[in-house]
Structures are given as structure tokens and as C-alpha cells.
Amino acid sequence: MPFRSILVTGGAGFIGSNFVRMVAREHPKTVITVLDALTYAGNLENIADLVDSGSVRFIKGDIREPAAVRVAMDNAEVVFNFAAETHVDRSIEEAASFIETDIQGTYNLLNFARELKVKRYVQISTDEVYGSSAGKDFDETSPLRPGNPYSASKCGGDLMCLAFANTYRLPLVITRSSNNFGPYQHVEKFIPLFITNAMEGKDLPLYGDGLHERDWIFVEDNCRAILAVAEKGNDGEVYNIAVGKSQPNLRVAELILKHVGKTNSRIVFIEDRKGHDRAYRLAAEKVRVLGWAPRTEFAPAMEETVRWYVDNRGWWERVKSGAFREYYEKQYKDKLAKGKTK
């Protein structure tokens, strides 16, 4: 990787931690700083080994606070913004924190990226900004039609990015990927919830008729695409990232049960999510022109993912019970109190 030093916001979350782990493993000379507020979704355990070994400098801080952003961005050549409120169901209950983090937080990052003249700013966005697709693949020029408060907030962040690219010529790129799955994903999300519920002998709650479709991408494939866009993407451009193999939630649930060794009788159909987007379908040729292609097929990646949750039961049990916070606070108490671990 040609980058000397990077700032990864949200690097203690699901995709951010996988990204940090990949960069640390494959590009050990790159200096990595993580800025993360450690919300309910952030888990220092996800990168604790890298923080302990000194491969990652960790700063506990909030992208909504300009002072924290200023400190973290010092010396960063490239900024990757993964930090966001991300769970659709939570945004339906309460959207204020989504607006604050996903829009205001992005604005703070853009301001300092401009002031400090970062070489590149990478905004991690989502296929949800285009809204539900009725049989049509959305490309990067498709209109934004968010279907829930989360995706509306992500649209706000994206639009602010595009405004900064146009107004101030800030060298930035935006990635919009489909649904990720893999290790370290929070158990509130569909795949980890269903794997862990199946392991615990609990019901698997499918929304509506279970025929809503998602185009699942293994998290490592998305992380590689993000790197490719950061390195080779054109300033001011958006890049969709997807595999192009949508499938209904019911089929995914059945596959999970098969891997965990349980019967389909555990699936229960429950009341649908409000405003539930039926499907997301992306045209993603543009990122392939940069040389990226997914390396992983869905079925083996799902098998690997189930194995990870089986092998890391302590991790998800601590997340489910909330004990993970106590776990890392005990380990990092003094350092976190100073707002920094190193």
C-alpha cells in the first residue's frame, strides 16, 4: 500500500476492525491510528491484540467532537471514515444519534481533512442510500431515495462529501457496499443473531415473509475493495461494491441452521420491520475496472463465518450480555481514562 499513515474512524466496529486487521497484516509499514467512541457497537476486543503489540494507536474519541478529530487526524495521510450509527432497527426507534454521527460527524472529519490537507479521504457508505430496488440495478448515478432514517443519515454524509469535493476540491472517494458478513459483526445484525441464536437453541426471528433479499459480501472482500478505491479511485467519485448474487433471507437462515446442525423449525416469522426495503441491487462494474473482484464465494465464506462464531463463543456471549465493556474497561482502564491507548 502506498500510504504512510492512515486514520481509521470506527476501527473498533465490525468492518473497521476487519479493515485494520487486514492493513496491519498485509502492510505492516503503514502507521495506523484508530479513532472510535466505543459506542455499544464498538468493541476494543476486536483489535486488542494489535493495540497491545503497538501495531495500532488507539484513541477513544467521538467524531462529533471537533477537538478529538483534530488530535486523531494529525499526521494522517489518508482518512477512512467507518464510524457511524449503523443499525436500521435502532434508527427506526430513534434517529438523533444517526443524524449527529453520520452527518455532523462526517462534516467534522471533512473540515479537518481539508484544513490538514490529507492526501485522500475515504467515506464508507452503503447501498441503502439508493433505497429499495424493484428489479433494477442501481449504478453510481442513480438517485438517492433512502427508505429509513439510517439510510437518510448516510445520504446526508455522502452529500456533504460530494459538496466538499466540488467546493473545496477535497480529494475524496465514496464507497457504497452491499451487506457485509464475517467475523466480529455485532450480534444485533441478521447473520450473527441467527448463528448465535441457533447455537443457543433459541428461535430465529425472520421479519415479514422472509423473502426480502440482500446481496451478501464477505467482509474481507469489501475491505479489499475499499483499499483499491482508496489507492486507485478518481477524486470526487462514488464506487458501488457488490458481488451481484442477491438471495432471500429465508434461504440464508436455512443455510445457517444447516451449518449449526439445527432444523428449520427454529425459524419464526414475526412482524415486519417498518418501511423494510425489499431488496438492494447494485451495478458494480466501476470498482472492477480498478482491478477488484470478490475472492470469496458465499457458501464457503458462510461456513467460515459460522466456524468463527463457534470458535469465539466468549466474544459474542460478552457482546450479547454487555459484559464486553467491563472486560475491556478492566484491561484498559487507566489508558482509556487518559483518552488514549498506545
Q: Which residues bind ligand NAD (CB under 6 A)?
A: 9-10, 12-16, 36-39, 41-42, 62-64, 82-86, 101, 105, 124, 126, 154, 177, 179-180, 186
Q: Check if 139 is active-site.
A: no
Cβ atoms 5, 76 nearer than 8 A? yes
- CB of residue 275 to ligand DAU, shortest distance in Å: 11
**Binding flag, residue 267, ligand DAU (CB under 6 A):** no
**Given candidates 36, 128, 158, 221, which one binds ligand DAU under the rule CB under 6 A?**
128
Of the candidates 302, 322, 81, 70, the residue with the CA atom closest to the CA atom of residue 191: 302
- CB of residue 73 to ligand DAU, shortest distance in Å: 24
Q: Check if 150 is active-site.
A: yes
Could you give the angle at the alpha carbon of 260 between the alpha carbons of 257 and 266, nearest 5°? Answer: 40
**Binding flag, residue 186, ligand DAU (CB under 6 A):** no
**Given candidates 106, 111, 123, 126, which one binds ligand DAU under the rule CB under 6 A?**
126
Rounded Cα gap, residues 55 and 30, in angstroms: 9
* First and final C-alpha spacing in the chain: 23
Decide whether 236 or 275 has the Cβ nearer to ligand DAU: 275
**Binding flag, residue 190, ligand DAU (CB under 6 A):** yes
DSSP E strand boundaries for 4-119: 5-9, 31-36, 56-60, 78-81
Cβ atoms 32, 77 nearer than 8 A? no
Task: Return the one option of ligand DAU, ligand NAD, none that residue 82 interacts with (CB less than 5 to 8 A, by type).
Answer: ligand NAD
Decide whether 56 or 161 has the Cβ nearer to ligand DAU: 161
* β-pairing verdict for 172-177 and 237-241: parallel
Task: Return the one option of ligand DAU, ligand NAD, none that residue 331 interacts with (CB less than 5 to 8 A, by type).
Answer: none
Q: Check if 128 is active-site.
A: yes
Cβ atoms 191, 305 nearer than 8 A? yes
Of the candidates 237, 288, 284, 280, the residue with the CA atom closest to the CA atom of residue 122: 237
Task: Return the one option of ligand NAD, ligand DAU, none that residue 120 interacts with (CB less than 5 to 8 A, by type).
Answer: none
- CB of residue 255 to ligand NAD, shortest distance in Å: 18
Catalytic positions are 127-128, 150
